[in-house]
Structure 1
Amino acid sequence: MEKAVLELRNLSKHYGELIAVDNVSLEIRHNELFCLLGPSGSGKTTILRMIAGFEKPTSGQILLEGKDITKIPPHKRNVNTVFQNYALFPHLNVRDNIAYGLQIRKFPQDEIEKRVKHYLKIMHLPDKRYSYPHQLSGGQQQRVALARALINEPAIILLDEPLGALDEKLRDKMQVELSNIQRTVKTTFIMVTHNQEESLTMADRIAVMKDGNIEQLGLPEEIYSTPTSRFVAEFIGDTNILEGDIVYRDGDFLKIKLATGDVIQKIAKRNVPEIDQILLSIRPEQLKMWKRKPEYEDNLFEGTIRNEVFYGDFSIFIVELGNGLNVQVMFQNILPSGVNKQSFQEKEQIWVGWTKLAGHLLWD
């Protein structure tokens, strides 16, 4: 098995009585785009700063390519950081910004020119060679900052909220561009973000952080579809959390008593422990809506539409089921053929249901 390019061993960081990072161990692979995802105060940025050398760990080790770099100063680590504000030199043009690191290290001029030309091409910026930062768009500035970090050929690129300063349209575009660049240069990227969409779209693997710990580590599909805790389920996208009591088990299925009535749910890969109460996490896109009671559906309840949030091609309906329980239901407004679907109105009585294979069971 290939050795990790970066290994964190029992890494902790304390600020007085505040524990920012609590005994985190993690291996990051060669050439992967790895994401540290979490809310403010979860410890993700502190981990990034310790990897860069800007913060000293209270305890633990950081190994880069098998070498302990825990006490090595930042400028001697084979790691480069791209900051959220890009930190470009305003008095230098694009070419000189990108070449800066090589010039400081006194590389031969022909090697500098060769690398600058190479990264200008990768970043789709050959015509911006003599432009200054103030003449560039936000996305172009980011690509210049990334080229400047890559030109030294580090083992790892660290990205601190890389898309946070961009507007939504440009952010969506740069999600794809950054991923493509990472695959082209075949360098390990470690990205910090609080944006779930960015992490799901871009990352090869995600570590979800909470209170200085890794709550869950896995592929984006695993994190979204099979969260291991209520925190992860609610933090990654929208979900409905339904609390219930286990009535009985039958092979791979559970009968659960909810506030609205009984449901049947399939047990996923994780074995459900011997407990009485359980949580069902079910995504809005896993629920269906009908004007009339359907003939076949595993779990079916009558409800009242309380609100609609319109997004164009789809809507999110807030539906009140029995006992005042509200659920979010995603509804596609337009069929693939382009034909509009039937509309629903506020206060309308409808039916909501899902199959016993939908949803995910949680107990911690």
Structure 2
Amino acid sequence: MSAHVIADDAEALAVAASLAAEFRPGASARDAGRRLPRAELDRMSASGLLAVTVPADHGGADVGARTLAEIFRLLATADASLAQIPQSHFAYVNVMRRQGTPEQREFFFAELLAGRRFGNAQSEAGTRHVQDIRTRLEPRPDGSYVLTGVKHYSTGALFADWIPVLARTGDDRLHVAYVPSGAPGLTVVDDWDGLGQRTTASGTVRLDGVPVPADRVLPHHLTFEGPQLHGALAQLLHAAIDTGIAAGALAEAAEFVRTKSRPWFESGVETAAEDPLLIQRFGELALCTKAAEALLSEAARSVDAARADLSDDTAAEASVAVAAAKVQAARAAVEVSSALFEVSGTRSAADSLNLHRHWRDARTHTLHDPARWKIQHIGRFVLNGTRPPRHGLL
């Protein structure tokens, strides 16, 4: 595989905008037919967009968080499923940046620049909670390891060249094992049946005695022993996806009202777009969406600032800013995608139009982690100066 190498932030944003425009026309049909976006992901890989956070000293553009968040927002305005697939990819690029040895970074950054994709095998079902990871990484006499476990919600794994697997060793410490897609004992099952985000293929990964060389394992537990931005960056990208869903739904609603809706007879106007009550509602929805975009930009700025001067205080400020962005983005995505039908009228509910994909995507993606706990951490920080916990989900 070969890929273009993006030079800087400006080129990264231009490529993302171009790909979003390319992917938008087919998004509804992909969702309706659950046609997995392999060709589109190959285009994304070839464009170099998936390697934009590779450090400059390894040949990458090393773009900032503001650029990365905008990339995800742009992609999500076109196709929320397609935008979500590389979210874990970038999260685990970040793990490699922070915990990889020089040799590991050299190898994997070269893979990324060549267009290779990371997936994820992180979450598990049937455990006590999301942090209860039971997949085991057992050492062998020769220094290598064996992986055993079952993962769910493994977005990106079906399309990946490498699957980062979150597992615990005998001392219960978290590690990440980077497993090639064709490894013996590894099975990726396309059994995702969510009502939204239908083409993410967020299914099951089974690990039945998967051999892992020692140089493919990273000590992820070290990430949380000091100030870190792992959770803030991962959550920033989720917020960007939700913000993009809101913007995409608002744009489609406006287009529908301009071209297909009839005015209510009491309005006394010739077109639906002149209806003062619809104009008022679109103004409200635009404010909701713009608030999400503004908080997303501010959160990304905070992450960039913390990255430049990482401390407990700057990491906490970044996490709280991202939490605020995520809460508003989730609200905007659900409200705007639901209001699409309110402003567009009866015809918009036709299943053949598939306008409900925006709400289905919003309702599904915003379940990723509860906003109520983010609000708790924001309140504790503002009222008592309590820093958020270092658990990687904030």
TM-score calculated relative to the size of structure 1: 0.28
Structure that is richer in helix per residue: 2
Larger Rg: 1
